[in-house]
Structure 1
Amino acid sequence: MNTEHISASSSGGTAGCDLATARHVVAASFLGWMLDACDFFIVLFTLDNVAESFAVPLSTVLLAPTLTLLTRPIGAFLCGRAADKYGRKPVLIWTIMIYSVIEVSSAFAPTIGVFLALRTLFGVALGGEWGVGTSLIMESVPSSWKGMSSGILQAGYPAGYLLASLMFLLLPAFGWRGLFILGGSAVISALYIWWRVPESPDWLARQKAGSREVAPGLWSVIRGNTALCVFAVALMASFNFMSHGSQDLYPKLFLALERKITPDHVTLIVVLYNIGAIAGGIFFGFLSQKIGRQYAIATAAFLVLPLLPLWTLPHSSVWLTIGAICMQFCIQGAWGVVPAYLSELSPASVRATFPGVAYQFGNLIAASNALLQHGIASSLGVGLALPLMLVVGAAALSVLTLTLLNAKLHPMERV
């Protein structure tokens, strides 16, 4: 792996903005990612309602999140390249505005075909937001803020899940189309960025220094940093298997169907473990500032392993709730370090592109999680407890191994 890129990247944005402005950058980036995630989860909460509205099988509507997932890497690349060339702020604003418009447009889709086409386009904007927001926040805040800021940014994802679950309570009053219209309120965060958030000082400094040369293409970046790219995608695939493995089938198929927990109690468990996820992301993000990114990730991933039995084996809803909260605290705790870690690994010229593309390609690889876990259960003739533990445990072990191996081969300075 190219250690020159690592050290150069980690020094980016050291000075940052003044503290008042940095707070606005953190808040705006968090809001953008939270509302982006919320708009995505609204679809998952209303799948059966959408299917009924269009008089199509549920399997047809399930194509919506799949198509969104498939186009996320495209968005990460296109928006990232645009942000590396034209600046983080304008691209982030346009990305948020586009996904807000698409979300509202989805509410007025006349046919299932139009709806699926809009969700495909939504995936492009969804994939672009995270990488651009990550580069903006990591290049704008002081070095001493980076760990905490990373955790706050990544906490936007479970916060978006929570917001979507609360919005779902409005379904009887507004219907699924009304929820999609409400999802368009994400445009408020774009206005906030336009009003209170400046351009990345690191990006501006490179422009002022005359570095307006054409940014290297994706393939030239890969050729020059092959080991780094392979490592990043493998790590993010492991991360995504760890998070999707703990979330995709857990609430409805495991808690509700296998453990026979009531829907209201399942909802409570989901709310509580997402609160744990938010707390974990912020805690381990802060911890990474003290012990280093790699060791904070490794610590969180290691703690996942002894929690596996508590998370799946009890039949008591109380113990399952405790296990789920602890599990998401650690899994999303590891995730809380990811924005800072990938940003500091990234070559400076592609800092808006590299983290997002690595994240989304890893997510694409992990798209098979639900089928994998269900397939293990079917082939072994067992319930979901064992497949859940196997996939999440293997993913956590992979995150732990890859991170410690990279820490051994390429130590990073604490910033």
Structure 2
Amino acid sequence: MAPYFLRNLLPRREQRAEGRPLLEVLATLTWVQWGHFWSGWLAWTCDAIDFFSVSLSVAHLQTQFDRSTHDITTAITLTLLFRSIGAVVFGIISDRFGRKWPLIINLLMISVLELGSGFVESFHAFLAVRSLFGIAMGGIWGLAASTALENLPVEVRGLASGILQQGYAVGYLLAAVINLTLVPEAAAGWRSLFWTASGISAFAAFVRFLLPESEIFLRAQAAERARGGSTTKKTKIFLHETWEMLKRHWLLCIYAILLMTGFNFLSHGSQDLYPTYLTQAKLFTDHNATVATIIGNCGAIAIFVLLIGAFIPLWILPSSFGALAAGAFCIQFGVQGAWGVIPIQLAEISPPAFRATFPGVAYQIGNMVSSASAQIEATGAANLHTTIIDKNGQPKVVSDYATVQGILIGVVAAFVLVITIIGPENYGSHFEKSKAAFEEGAGRDEIVEDDHSHPNSNMASRPTSLQIVDEKRSTPEPV
């Protein structure tokens, strides 16, 4: 038999027992299922708006605090570093107590801290607020993805995953549009971007408030009440099952972190300093740099890691607005296209009872490792210079962001390609059939014996991929 990574290279048609046509399944979704999906999407969109508020305001923040680009990007690095804490805290709370209120509280926290970011007057206060913001922000992805995907039938989760992940590109796009239209007109300047982002996050919390708890948690809680389980007992079981999960899936945890490290380097390396690169290395105005960012994110919204390598020259070599905007469009099409499969990929390979904690922590630790992307690029560009012709036809020495970013993205794209090929998958996993994290056996990936109460119970009689994969998971997947 061919080695695992070689078999991953071979195209194959996946089979799902009694799989129904996509349009037929979409027609059966209830308004609550649609509501859960779009509330998760909106939460993830808010995450991007709030995060990229700093990236789009680097020049304004330099003026406000009289600091260098390297100093300002420290705020981005700190936000990414502290997100792992939030992923652990909110992921555990969500897997233990449910999806609804942890996500609402999480969104309200980032709303308050984003609002506070727009009021600070000193650089150190700004760094402190952005660090706290990172903790709050860290919980969003795992909670948003589990809220959006776990209540949907298995047949539509792949499509839903792609749409969910593009909420990040939509958020960046919205932040860029606000920066282009509101910021130049508002007396508050760059602060108005942060305040607007805060309001959108509060609105997302209100939307989630209107929707019920996840059906899977309602089912598990009802079963526990029927068995007479107390809160103290459920917490003890949760802690025990968490330890069982870590013993069973430690190698899978390492793989997921490596995968997310590569993907986060890919996104942050191509996005965080892009507006600064255009203004300082290509001498664009703030207006044109923001327009190019918008065009780039349109490409992202419009799955291919291989395309990224092909588009790098178009992204960094031209000097004209049209060519660079086309490069931004293509590079973000590749980056975000590849990202589109990540929510469902992580949800399917994760220990099924820990669908908020496992993907969220893996994602945010990857963020933590890649947190220095902007500073790596800023430092590299500060020590590498090139000469360009300015608008007056005169030669000018500028920081060579193009070469630094091109090398970083090229190396990371190759890493992501390799780590994806050699990694495991669990396509079509019926993780909705698994026990909740506070039920005995959850850490061993046990499924619920009778899940006919689930809204997708027409799938209950089918053989599930979890039943097939459970034995395979007793030994770690090859990495």
The answer, yes or no, to whether TM exceeds 0.5 is: yes
Opposite residue 344 of structure 1, the aligned amino acid is: E
Alignment of 1:346-365 (within 5 A): 346-365=350-369
Correspondence list, 1:184-203, <5 A:
184-185=198-199, 186-195=201-210, 197-203=211-217
User: CA–CA distance in 2 between the matches of 1:322 and 1:188?
Assistant: 34
Match in the other structure for 2:292: 269
Give distance in 1, aligned partners of 2:57 and 2:401: 24
Q: Percentage identity across aligned positions?
A: 37
Question: What letter is aligned with 1:332?
Answer: Q
Query: Is 117-126 or 87-96 further displaced after alignment?
Result: 117-126
Query: Structure 2: how far apart are the matches of 1:398 and 1:137?
Result: 29
Encode CA deviations 1:287-325: one digit per residue, 9 max, x unaligned: xxxxxxxxxxxxx11222222222222344333222221
Query: Are positions 1:320 and 2:324 aligned together?
Result: yes
Letter in 2 for 1:101: V
Partner residue of 1:78 out of 68, 83, 89: 89
Moved more, 109-118 or 200-209: 109-118
Deviates most, 70-79 or 217-226: 217-226
Deviations 1:66-99 (A, max 9, x none): 3222210000000000000110111111111111
2:309 aligned to 305, 310, 314, which one?
A: 305
- The answer to whether residue 186 in structure 2 is matched with residue 170 in structure 1 is no
For residues 285 and 212 of structure 2, what CA distance do their matches in structure 1 show?
48
- Flag structure 1 segments of 5+ consecutive residues without an equivalent: 1-9, 285-299
C-alpha spacing 1:192/1:305, structure 2 compared with 1 (3 Å): same
Question: Which stretch has the larger CA shift, 205-214 or 240-249?
Answer: 205-214
Distance 2:372 2:81 in 1: 12
**Deviation at 1:218?**
6.3
- 1:96–1:190 contact (8 Å) kept in structure 2: yes
Task: Tell me the amino acid that sits aligned with residue 318 of structure 1.
Answer: G
CA contact (8 A) 2:78 2:371 kept: no
Contact persistence 2:103–2:140 (CA under 8 A): yes
Q: Which has the higher contact order (CA 8 A, sep 6+)?
A: 1
* Secondary structure of 1:141 counterpart: coil
**Hey, what does 1:153 align to over in structure 2?**
164
Q: Structure 1 length as normaliser, TM-score?
A: 0.82
1:226 matched to 2:266? The reply is: no
Say whether the 8 Å CA contact 1:239–1:335 is kept in structure 2: yes
Cα distance change of structure 1 residues 117 and 217 upon mapping to structure 2, 3 Å threshold:
farther
Q: Please list, as runs of the form range in 1=range in 2, the aligned pairs for 1:371-390 lying within 5 A after superposition.
A: 371-374=375-378, 383-390=400-407
1:126 aligns with 2:143: no
Within 2, Cα distance between the matches of 1:199 and 1:111?
41
**Structure with greater Cα Rg:** 2
Q: Aligned partners of 1:117, 1:355: CA distance in 2, in Å? A: 27
Cα offset, 1:216, TM superposition? 4.6
Contact 1:132 1:352 (8 Å CA) reproduced? yes
SS in structure 2 of the partner of residue 412 of structure 1: coil
Deviation (angstroms), 1:103? 2.1
Q: Distance in 2 between matches of 1:57 and 1:319?
A: 31
Task: Quote how far apart the aligned CAs of 1:341 are.
Answer: 0.8
Distance 2:97 2:238 in 1: 11
Counting matched residue pairs gives 380
Q: How far apart are the structure 2 equivalents of 1:264 and 1:225?
A: 48
Residue 259 of structure 2 aligns to which amino acid in structure 1?
L
Q: Deviation of residue 398 (structure 1)?
A: 1.5
Given the alignment of the two structures, is residue 331 of structure 1 paired with residue 335 of structure 2, yes or no? yes
Structure 2 residue matching 1:140: 3-state secondary structure: coil
User: Given the two structures, how large is their TM-score scaled by the length of structure 2?
Assistant: 0.71
Other structure's SS at 2:356 match = coil
Q: Deviations over 1:223-254 (max 9, x none)?
A: 3312111111111110011112222333322x
Alpha-carbon contact 2:76-2:374 (below 8 Å) kept: no
1:243 is matched with which residue: 247, 250, 267?
Answer: 267
* SS of alignment partner, residue 139 of structure 2: helix
Corresponding position of 2:222: 208
Q: 1:377 Cα shift?
A: 5.4
The structure that is helix-richer by fraction is: 1
Instruction: Give the Cα–Cα distance (whole angstroms) in 1 for the partners of residues 411 and 128 of structure 2.
Output: 35
Deviation at 1:50, TM superposition (A): 4.8
Give how far 1:350 is off. 1.4
CA distance in 1, matches of 2:368, 2:356: 19
Number of the residue aligned with 1:252? 276
CA distance in 1, matches of 2:271, 2:220: 41
CA distance in 2, matches of 1:203, 1:157: 26
Whole-Å Cα distance in 2 between the matches of residues 378 and 60 of structure 1?
A: 12
Q: CA deviation at 1:48?
A: 4.9
Q: Which moved more, 1:148-157 or 1:68-77?
A: 148-157
